[in-house]
Amino acid sequence: MKTYDIVIVGGGPAGLAAAVAAKEAGNDSILILERDHELGGILNQCIHNGFGLHTFKEELTGPEYAYRFIKQVLDLGIEYKLNTMVMDIAPDKTVTAMNREDGMFTIPAKAVILAMGCRERPRGALNIPGYRPAGIFSAGTAQRLVNIEGYMPGREVVILGSGDIGLIMARRMTLEGAKVKVVAELMPYSGGLKRNIVQCLDDYGIPLKLSHTVVDIEGKDHVTAVTIAKVGPDRKPIPGTEIRYTCDTLLLSCGLIPENELSRSAGVKMSPVTSGPVVNESLETNIPGVFACGNVLHVHDLVDYVSEEAKRAGENAVKYINEGCRDSENQDFIEIAATDGARYTVPSSINLDRMSDLLTVRFRVGDVYKDSFVSVYFDDERILHNQKRIMAPGEMEQIILKKSQLKEHEGLKKITVKIEAE
Amino acid sequence: MYDIVIIGAGVSGSAVAREVSRYDVSACVLEKCEDVCEGTSKANSAIVHAGFDAEEGSLMAKLNVEGNEMMDQLSKDLDIPFKRNGSLVVCVHKEELDGIKDLYDRGVKNGVKGLKILSREEALELEPNLSENVEGALFAPTGGIVCPFELNIAMAENANMNGVEFRFNTEVEDIKKCDDGLWHIRTNNGEYVSRVVVNAAGVHADEIHNMVSADKMHIIERRGDYCLLDKEVGGFVSHTIFPQPTKYGKGVLVTPTVHGNLLVGPTAIDIEDKEGTNTTAKGLDEVFAKASENVKNLPMRNVITSFAGLRAHLEKHEFVIEEVKDAENFIDVAGIESPGLSASPAIGKMVGNMLKDKMGLKEKSDWIATRKGVKSTEGLSIDEMNALIKENPAYGTIICRCESITEGEILDAIHRPLGARSLDGVKRRTRAGMGRCQAGFCSPRTMEIINRELGLPYEKITKSGGKSNIILERTKGEVSHS
């Protein structure tokens, strides 16, 4: 098997953008490994619009957005293999993969970019009681069936979880002629973007019941009814609040989990909060030369942010190859901590020497905050205090750090991001 | 017209079918579901019990110990995973230590080999994740774990290879002895006539029995909820950890599975619904609470699925394997609750011998004792994988990414004797869809393969037969699949 400088695991939006950026940064030895039969990843089944407002200043569908990057990959002559499953990534960056034509093969790479995306939390993980009939789908699986395969799962639908895919599918199923009876959400706030609540539920008169969960599923062979109930502050159902909906389909949109099985086996250090790798300013993991971007790193709301992040990963992979392993032992790292309502930050550390002039730090909050402040402290000194009208866990937040500003604070050890009431 | 009709393609019926297939007879298995292993046999603890629980001198005790002893050879012959991981009955209350001693004595009388009473320290050394409160334990080195699906499927397949017919989606509606002295079995798929009937209908065995006998039988459906945990925590315990048994059974256990998951359960609640395999919030909470009495820090956040199974409990808590007194040539295999899975090879043997003596059966000269399972790619080296892919490129395509199951394995599962026709059928034969994403990724792909290989239209592909269709209809217009 040929060797490559950079192996990118995943040909979705993150992998494609990373590949383009790496090629443009001057590396010609790049291979994308994609398990599906086409490039583009999950965008191929996202046939609704609203993609690319930040990147292209226009509203594209998922496949259109993906194609912008696929075309660049093709034009730049970047190599890729489809229908190819990566089986293992060794700590020395040897990638083992498999497909029908090549069989099982290994590639010793100089740098690896993790871009495997995420998957949905299944029913089992939610511990929903009841029967286990046909008619229960994760929203993404239903989206694939409807949008790619051309099949309808059912006609009367209950949706649990108000993640973006669930909201989008509420509208999609409605447009295909199904009746979406209710969207139930365990938390007192939606897990999706505000714009999706408006455009996918409100516009179609689909009720959203916050602080509700599914307490029973009926139907031995196929779903016949779903019962939801209100939950208290402990998120336990309150007896007597049950509402039963007859239906033939239950869609679950209860959270996305970065798909890091390969990262783990490679020895990549993971964040228990994001379920993605812990990375520094270069989006490099604890293994030098292994980078991560997109939803495998942390779940994004907008693909535009994925593309922008992946670009940085691609550029940094080339830098790593050109400059060799930059020994991190002797470097002073600045830690970025998230406290007081800020749940995490990506990245979570900065090497000042390697930092570019501007660094975008993204994070999510753990609750809904109204008229609160995003504060950034350099050690004990507050240097940023931005008021936000509303912040919610479903919407990613960001701050931008300037290298010059960090340099002014000599001996800076720790940057803290927190949410403050005033 | 058959010599023998067996009702039920669960683990008991399939074990009987395999034993019967040794002889020169015409035999048929009638199964109301669309596949083997669709009832009690598919949802249980997957344990091969050592045999110290059942009452001394009972049929249960005898067949449990025999079945356990048969399992090594059987698993080799039928190419199914089986592991003697040993079991521990844990005592967390000093005053209950006598109970452990009683179990030990009973086990010795039942013929269980190698039993040993462990001190607190010895128990903790074997299983560091036991509760801090452990006072002692009964160690049974012969306790084991098995794949209940594969045990059931393998016995059925092997029976089928040896000439036993299987009729699926065939539900028995009535049975009558006619003037010709034969049993006439009316089903939704026509009438079957047989010299001998074996009733191995699981929780429905009472209904079948009551069709032919004045001495009525009543099976109590005893439901148990289980949680299955991710392989990430499969090594949380290495032995099967039982609490002290009660009158409701062997209690909530914590055990590794042969495929490397962790299984916790079951609860035990008597219900009156032969289809009542729904889990309840109370039951799932109880699984965690009870299991936590014996092990500490149980990683319940790693649950990937939960399910409930039914046990066919008879009041007298004993297997009933006998010719029905007022129905000559009708043999009950009823009340097969735990340890039915462990005992199943011995149940098959016992019924096979009964029939041999009764009918004067002659052994075939060309009986095939062995069967190969779906070829697994797990643990193959790169060279071995490449040889396999070269021979059949379908082994180069991963369909289920959680369990790394290839298209080749799924094709094998579909095209072998009594092959899979549904998503669950594929799952139970290959584990595709049994991983942490629970078929979210692979089900559309598995449907594609079933559609292509069996010519089943998408609308007719089911999760597990019957009306469990995955999709309803096409969206607008035709879609071409490239």
Please provide the average confidence, as pLDDT, over all residues in chain A: 95
pLDDT digit string (tens) for B204-233? Answer: 999 999 999 999 999 999 999 999 999 999
Percentage of chain B lying above the pLDDT 90 cut = 96
Mutate to test the interface with A, among B468, B474, B479 (most CBs of A within 10 A): B468
Residues in chain B within 8 Å Cβ distance of A146: 475
- Neighbouring CB atoms inside 10 A of B302's CB total 19
Q: Which amino acid is at B108?
A: V
From A125, A137, A140, residue closest to B303, measured CB to CB: A125
Structural contact between residues B273 and B290, judged by C-beta atoms closer than 8 angstroms: no
What pLDDT does residue A122 have?
A: 85
What pLDDT does residue A110 have?
A: 97
Tell whether the model's pLDDT for residue B482 goes beyond 80. Answer: no
ipTM of the complex: 0.94
What pLDDT does residue B481 have?
A: 54
Residue of A nearest to B448 (CA): A149
pLDDT digit string (tens) for B140-161? Answer: 999 999 999 999 999 999 999 9
Residue of A nearest to B381 (CA): A104
What pLDDT does residue A123 have?
A: 84
Average the pLDDT over B375-403 and give the result: 96
What pLDDT does residue A328 have?
A: 54
pLDDT digit string (tens) for B454-468? Answer: 999 999 999 999 999
**Strand ranges in A38-196 using DSSP code E only, listed in sequence order:** 79-81, 85-89, 94-99, 103-108, 111-114, 118-120, 136-138, 151-152, 156-160, 179-185
What pLDDT does residue B282 have?
A: 95
Q: Look up residue A211 and give its DSSP letter.
A: T
Residue of B nearest to A35 (CA): B398
From A100, A127, A149, residue closest to B396, measured CB to CB: A100
Average the pLDDT over B371-395 and give the result: 96
What pLDDT does residue B399 have?
A: 97
Tell whether the model's pLDDT for residue B480 goes beyond 80. Answer: no
Work out the minimum CA distance from A147 to partner chain B, whole angstroms. 9
Alpha-carbon dihedral angle through residues A125, A126, A129, A132, given to the nearest 10 degrees: -50
What pLDDT does residue A325 have?
A: 62
Contact state of B481 with A153 under an 8 Å Cβ cutoff: no
Instruction: Report chain B's terminal Cα–Cα distance, integer Å.
Output: 47
Mutate to test the interface with B, among A148, A151, A186 (most CBs of B within 10 A): A151
Q: Chain A to chain B, count of Cβ pairs less than 8 Å apart?
A: 139
Average the pLDDT over B240-244 and give the result: 96
From A124, A148, A152, residue closest to B303, measured CB to CB: A124
Q: Which residues contact A142 (CB under 8 A, 6 or more apart)?
A: A153, A169, A173, A249, A251
Average the pLDDT over B78-101 and give the result: 95
Q: Along chain A (422 residues), what's the average pLDDT of each consecutive run of 10 residues?
A: 93 98 98 97 95 93 98 98 97 97 97 97 88 96 95 97 95 97 96 93 98 97 98 96 98 94 96 96 96 97 95 97 69 90 96 92 96 96 95 94 93 95 88
Tell whether the model's pLDDT for residue B476 goes beyond 80. Answer: no
Residues in chain A within 8 Å Cβ distance of B443: 141
* Centroid of chain to Cα B251: 18
What number of helices (H) and strands (E) belong to chain A? 10, 26
Residue of B nearest to A128 (CA): B281
Contact state of B305 with A140 under an 8 Å Cβ cutoff: no
User: In terms of C-beta distances under 8 Å and separation of at least 24 residues, what long-range contacts does A198-206 make, across chains too?
Assistant: A199/A171, A200/A167, A200/A168, A200/A170, A200/A171, A201/A167, A201/A170, A201/A171, A203/A171, A204/A170, A204/A171, A204/A174, A204/A180, A206/A170, A206/A174, A206/A180, A206/A182
Work out the minimum CA distance from A380 to partner chain B, whole angstroms. 36
What pLDDT does residue A124 have?
A: 81
What pLDDT does residue A126 have?
A: 87
Please report which confidence band the pLDDT of residue B316 belongs to, taking 50, 70 and 90 as the band edges. Answer: very high
**Which tokens hold the place of A89?**
């990534």
Cα(A12)–Cα(A135) distance, rounded to whole angstroms? Answer: 28
Mutate to test the interface with A, among B273, B390, B401 (most CBs of A within 10 A): B401
Residue of B nearest to A216 (CA): B280
Please provide the average confidence, as pLDDT, over all residues in chain B: 96
- Neighbouring CB atoms inside 10 A of B43's CB total 23
Contact state of A101 with B393 under an 8 Å Cβ cutoff: yes
Q: Among this protein's residues, is B481 annotated catalytic?
A: no
Of the candidates B382, B387, B427, B389, which has an alpha carbon nearest to the alpha carbon of residue B408?
B389
**Which tokens hold the place of A331?**
């470097």
Work out the minimum CA distance from A153 to partner chain B, whole angstroms. 4
Q: Which residues contact B285 (CB under 8 A, 6 or more apart)?
A: none
What pTM was computed for the model?
0.94
Give per-residue burial for B133-144: e unless 16+ CB within 10 Å, then b. Answer: ebbbbbbbbbbb
Work out the minimum CA distance from B267 to partner chain A, whole angstroms. 14
- Neighbouring CB atoms inside 10 A of A174's CB total 18
> How far from A377 is each of A98, A283, A414, B11, B385, CA to CA, in Å?
47, 22, 8, 65, 54
> How far from B126 is each of A168, B45, B137, B142, B259, CA to CA, in Å?
51, 21, 10, 15, 21
